[in-house]
């Protein structure tokens, strides 16, 4: 092989690599981006009409957004999602942060086993969790109640808090706690005044993970929730299965905006906690 | 300084509340699931005296007159207590066709039945007159079997085995083998999706890790947006794109690649399941790969090149081996998530793209054969626990990171 052909081959390889990556990124993002313009479709179709392609203003409309606001089912679903999500997040974040403090302590006995148990809800397929939770909570009379879903979602969300806060604590300077102790601060004061403010970004982003896990969870809701516990994803599920209308696309667009907000918040928090550790 | 608990106890004590919470809200339900897969006392509780009489029966021919009299009484009572349907369903699962026999018997016996058989010499004659099934050995075997609170039936059923009349265990006839092929399909789809994620995810992660700081943040966001976007939104997106009148077909028709009446069926079949699942799980492959690749210095590749390696050699001998921990972590994570996937196949899989989790949901919600659903789920759970232990060995659970 001459140097010339090797060089050409290398260039070709480089183009192939860039081209493949470009396609892969398009595959990742395009489906999500396609939804956004389609949600402004004036017609009840899931495809671009000729008018839309001509950028004819009459072909675009906000009617599907209006129908979300007018349909009280979506309002109720949002309320349910918020109630269940916030309550589950509070439980998961509180218990998860406390547990992470223990796990991050070098004196913690059996750390690997404890971590294994605490993370298991995240790894178990949700369908299995949903079946088990349905049997168990039915016996307790908690099926088809908000409380049942809150407890199940808290268990599903806790691992995210444990992982995030443990990672944050790995960068925490323990000498600060000893310094506080030498100044006479008790254990509670030390945690509240010194440690918590420094790990707060980690705790908050763990909480966001837990909230997102609950906000997007549909299998447990499907099996255990009743008509009164319909959440946003549950409502979308029946929308897709039963009476598919572009209202779904409008809701989807709002959820994409929500996802982007969460993403940037988590990134911002991550940077803050790195700066705090540095 | 105060003398307090030992540091070990204090650290362990902090984890106790969450461990207790997980034990009650998560591990106990899994225990109930396992119990459900082998235990069902419903029939034993609805027909307790019948079961006591049948315990002495030698399972040949039909049981004694006492058994006929007892079951007639208990079926009448079950009708009044509205538990008859539950018993009938369970007996029917063992011998199909018995549901109607069980349900119609108390109805035909009528109300106000005394201790004497109505319109017949014996209870046996009365019941056989209602349905000849009461004179058959198989009927009574099925009732006796349904009355056993502990049973391996669901697990046998879940792996396409059955108990023959003589008590031996054998494979079901070919036409009724559903679950083993479905487990195998789930396995193949999961492996396929994992492989696709690796092939697509590896270059993506590489690009993010080595694109220079300005590009790399932008590219990372392109992975994180789908990661954070609701699963249902992403599945909806694929329906919009791939359906018959969808965007992709429209583009193909507009470009003249396919005819308007020859639109491709890309959804509600296995293709839909594959494409949508790969898309949904891709970030779980990219993120662990990226975090490993980020720590590989570019000068390793430069050094290999300066020693005369071609890019291919340098990649194969220097770069690839260093990324193996990320490959292992990402692949296992994607595979574990894939074998339990429910939502995406249910919405875009059609008939041919269903996986084992869809069958579990079907038995939970539609056929209401909860014992079988529990057994199918228990087998899946075992597989996941196996993979989880493997993940711990390969990657280490305590090294798991998000984003």
pLDDT tens digits, B248-283 = 888 888 888 888 888 888 888 999 999 999 999 999
Local confidence band at B325 (pLDDT 50, 70, 90 cut-offs): confident
- pLDDT tens profile B130-146: 999 999 999 999 999 89
> DSSP code of A60?
B
Whether the pLDDT of residue B2 is over 60: the answer is: no
**Segment A185-192 mean pLDDT:** 86
Q: Do A127 and B340 touch (CB under 8 A)?
A: yes
Rounded Cα–Cα distance for residues B378 and A265 (Å):
38
Q: What ranges in chain A are assigned the alpha helix state H?
A: 3-38, 50-53, 63-70, 72-104, 111-123, 126-139, 146-170, 175-182, 187-189, 196-215, 219-224, 232-241, 247-277
**Segment B49-64 mean pLDDT:** 90
Which residue is closest to A219 within chain B, CA to CA?
B343
Residue window 245-304, chain B: list those with CB within 8 Å of chain A: 245-247, 250, 279, 282-283
Pick among 1.10.3720.10, 3.40.50.10490, 3.40.640.10, 3.40.50.970: CATH of B179-399: 1.10.3720.10
Nearest Cα to Cα of residue B400 among B315, B322, B336: B336
What pLDDT was estimated at residue B370? 92
- pLDDT tens profile B151-166: 888 999 999 998 877 7
What pLDDT was estimated at residue A118? 92
Whether the pLDDT of residue B25 is over 90: the answer is: yes
What pLDDT was estimated at residue B401? 58
Q: Does B218 touch chain A (CB under 8 A)?
A: no
**Segment A163-192 mean pLDDT:** 86
The mean pLDDT value of chain A amounts to 89
What pLDDT was estimated at residue A2? 55
Q: Which of A24-33, A92-101, B116-125, B361-370 has the lowest mean pLDDT?
A: B116-125
**Chain A residues close to B282, C-beta within 8 Å:** 27-28
Q: Does B158 touch chain A (CB under 8 A)?
A: no
Q: Most confidently modeled of A52-66, A157-171, B26-40? A: B26-40
Rounded Cα–Cα distance for residues A114 and A120 (Å):
10
Rounded Cα–Cα distance for residues A33 and B237 (Å):
9
What pLDDT was estimated at residue B398? 62
**Chain B residues close to A218, C-beta within 8 Å:** 231-232, 343
**Chain A residues close to B373, C-beta within 8 Å:** 131
Contacts of B349 (CB under 8 A, 6+ apart): B268, B269, B270, B272, B273, B355, B358
Local confidence band at B54 (pLDDT 50, 70, 90 cut-offs): very high
Q: Which of A157-166, A258-267, B1-10 has the lowest mean pLDDT?
A: B1-10
**Segment A115-124 mean pLDDT:** 88
**Segment A268-275 mean pLDDT:** 80
**Segment A236-248 mean pLDDT:** 84
Q: Are A182 and A249 in contact (CB under 8 A)?
A: no
How far is the alpha carbon of B344 from chain A, nearest alpha carbon, in Å? 11
The larger pLDDT score, comparing residue A93 to residue A197, is at: A93
Whether the pLDDT of residue B312 is over 60: the answer is: yes
**Chain A residues close to B388, C-beta within 8 Å:** 116, 120, 123
Whether the pLDDT of residue A5 is over 70: the answer is: no
**Segment A66-70 mean pLDDT:** 89
Whether the pLDDT of residue B167 is over 80: the answer is: no
Local confidence band at A241 (pLDDT 50, 70, 90 cut-offs): confident
What pLDDT was estimated at residue A142? 93
Q: Do B384 and A32 touch (CB under 8 A)?
A: no
Local confidence band at A250 (pLDDT 50, 70, 90 cut-offs): very high
- pLDDT tens profile B207-237: 999 888 888 889 999 999 999 999 999 999 9
């Amino acid at each position: 092989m001459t140097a010339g052909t090797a060089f050409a081959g290398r260039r070709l390889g480089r183009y192939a690599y860039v081209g493949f990556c470009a396609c892969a990124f398009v595959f990742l993002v395009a489906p999500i981006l396609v939804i956004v313009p389609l949600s402004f479709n004036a017609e009840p179709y899931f495809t671009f009409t000729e008018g839309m392609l001509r950028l004819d203003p009459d072909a675009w409309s906000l009617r599907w957004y209006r129908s979300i606001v007018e349909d009280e089912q979506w309002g109720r679903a949002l309320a349910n999602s918020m109630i269940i999500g916030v309550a589950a997040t509070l439980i998961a974040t509180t218990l998860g942060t406390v547990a992470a403090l223990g796990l991050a302590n070098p004196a913690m006995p059996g750390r690997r086993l404890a971590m294994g148990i605490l993370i298991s809800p995240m790894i178990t397929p949700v369908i299995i969790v949903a079946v088990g939770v349905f049997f168990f909570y039915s016996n307790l009379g908690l099926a088809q109640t908000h409380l049942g879903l809150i407890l199940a979602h808290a268990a599903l969300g806790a691992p995210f808090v444990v992982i995030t806060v443990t990672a944050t604590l790995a960068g925490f300077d323990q000498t600060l706690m000893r310094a506080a102790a030498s100044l006479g601060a008790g254990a509670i004061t030390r945690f509240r005044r010194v440690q918590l403010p420094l790990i707060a970004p980690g705790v908050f982003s763990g909480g966001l993970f837990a909230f997102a896990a609950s906000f997007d969870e549909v299998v447990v809701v499907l099996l255990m929730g009743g008509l009164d516990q319909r959440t946003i994803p549950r409502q979308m599920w029946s929308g897709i299965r039963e009476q598919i209308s572009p209202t779904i696309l409008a809701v989807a667009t709002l959820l994409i905006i929500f996802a982007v907000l969460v993403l940037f918040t988590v990134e911002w928090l991550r940077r803050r906690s790195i700066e705090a550790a540095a | 300084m105060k003398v307090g608990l030992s540091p070990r106890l204090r650290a362990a004590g902090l984890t106790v509340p969450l461990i207790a919470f997980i034990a009650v809200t998560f591990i106990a339900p899994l225990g109930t699931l396992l119990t459900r897969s082998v235990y069902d006392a419903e029939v034993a509780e609805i027909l307790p005296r019948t079961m006591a009489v049948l315990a002495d029966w030698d399972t040949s021919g039909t049981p004694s007159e006492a058994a006929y009299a007892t079951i007639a009484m208990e079926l009448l009572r079950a009708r009044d207590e509205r538990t008859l349907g539950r018993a009938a369903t369970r007996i029917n699962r063992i011998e199909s066709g018995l549901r109607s026999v069980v349900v119609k018997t108390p109805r035909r016996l009528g109300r106000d039945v005394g201790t004497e058989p109505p319109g017949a010499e014996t209870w046996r004659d009365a019941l056989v007159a209602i349905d000849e099934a009461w004179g058959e050995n198989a009927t009574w075997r099925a009732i006796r079997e349904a009355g056993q609170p502990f049973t391996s039936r669901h697990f046998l059923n879940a792996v396409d085995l059955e108990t023959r009349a003589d008590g031996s265990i054998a494979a079901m006839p070919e036409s009724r083998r559903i679950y083993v092929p479905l487990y195998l399909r789930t396995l193949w789809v999961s492996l396929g999706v994992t492989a696709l994620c690796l092939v697509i995810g590896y270059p993506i992660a590489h690009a993010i890790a080595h694109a220079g700081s300005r590009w790399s943040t932008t590219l990372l966001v392109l992975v994180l947006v789908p990661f954070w976007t609701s699963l249902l939104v992403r599945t909806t997106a694929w329906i919009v794109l791939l359906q018959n009148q969808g965007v992709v077909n429209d583009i193909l028709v507009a470009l003249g690649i396919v005819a308007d009446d020859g639109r491709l069926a890309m959804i509600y079949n296995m293709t839909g399941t594959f494409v949508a699942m790969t898309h949904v799980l891709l970030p779980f492959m990219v993120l662990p790969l990226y975090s490993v690749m980020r720590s590989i210095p570019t000068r390793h590749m430069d050094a290999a090149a300066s020693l005369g390696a071609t890019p291919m050699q340098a990649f194969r001998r220097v770069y690839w081996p260093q990324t193996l921990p990320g490959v292992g972590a990402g692949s296992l994570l994607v595979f574990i998530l894939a074998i339990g996937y429910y939502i995406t196949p249910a919405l875009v899989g059609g008939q041919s793209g269903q996986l084992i989790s869809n069958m579990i949901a079907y038995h939970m919600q539609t056929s209401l054969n909860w014992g079988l659903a529990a057994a199918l789920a228990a087998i899946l759970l075992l597989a996941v626990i196996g993979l989880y232990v493997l993940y711990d060995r390969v990657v280490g659970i305590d090294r798991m990171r998000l984003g």
